[in-house]
Amino acid sequence: MAETINQFEDRILAEERKEEFMIAKQSYMRKGMPGPQAYHKAREEFPPLLAEVDSEEDDFEITANCPIIDSIMWAVERLEKKKVTIQDAPSSYAWTLYKNAKGNTVNTAELIRLSIVKLTPTGKQLDDAARMQDDGTDTLELIERIQNAT
């Protein structure tokens, strides 16, 4: 059964890919494609990352609270390993990503792309880091002011 629009939007929101989807859609619209057509064209670029787990794994619950980037990296790091079990996974999200990507080149490429996106700082993060970096001038000015005040 095909994924409905609501299901698609819920899924990319859960996968934290909504912003990427909107950028892709806007890119098509800038090229002159009408909104609904751009939406469907961009939607083709965002296949599901989450897969259904096998029925024998349904009883297993992973209770660890694991950051998303750690789950993504865990899955990427284990793609080449021969024996990986659900008990090794730090979270159900990590296991799902791994299970979905293993043996599927399209999903593997998407998982690697997702890991790059999550690891690459945004422009705002870089700007904030640059602003927070102390080159010593503020400290020197403060020392000078204190010395002049005494």
pLDDT tens digit sequence for 74-89: 999 998 888 888 888 8
Whether 74 maps to a domain, the answer reads: yes
Question: pTM to 2 decimals?
Answer: 0.45
Contact at 8 Å (CB) between 94 and 75? yes
Residues 39 and 65 in one domain: no
Q: What is the pLDDT of residues 39-71, one digit of tens each?
A: 999 888 888 774 544 444 444 455 457 788 888
Whether 12 maps to a domain, the answer reads: yes
Residue ranges making up the domain that contains 26? 1-46
Whether 51 maps to a domain, the answer reads: no
Q: What's the rounded Cα separation, in Å, for the pair 36 and 42?
A: 10
Q: What's the rounded Cα separation, in Å, for the pair 146 and 139?
A: 11
Instruction: Dump the DSSP string for 23-61.
Output: HHHHHHHHTT--HHHHHHHHHTT------PPPGGGTT--
Structure tokens at 37: 């057509």
Q: How many Cβ atoms sit within 10 Å of the Cβ of residue 148?
A: 7
Whether 28 maps to a domain, the answer reads: yes
- pLDDT value for 53: 43
Q: How many domains does the chain have?
A: 2
Whether 54 maps to a domain, the answer reads: no
- pLDDT value for 1: 57
Q: Give me the percent of the chain exceeding a pLDDT of 70.
A: 85
For tokens 């970096």, what's the residue? Answer: 133
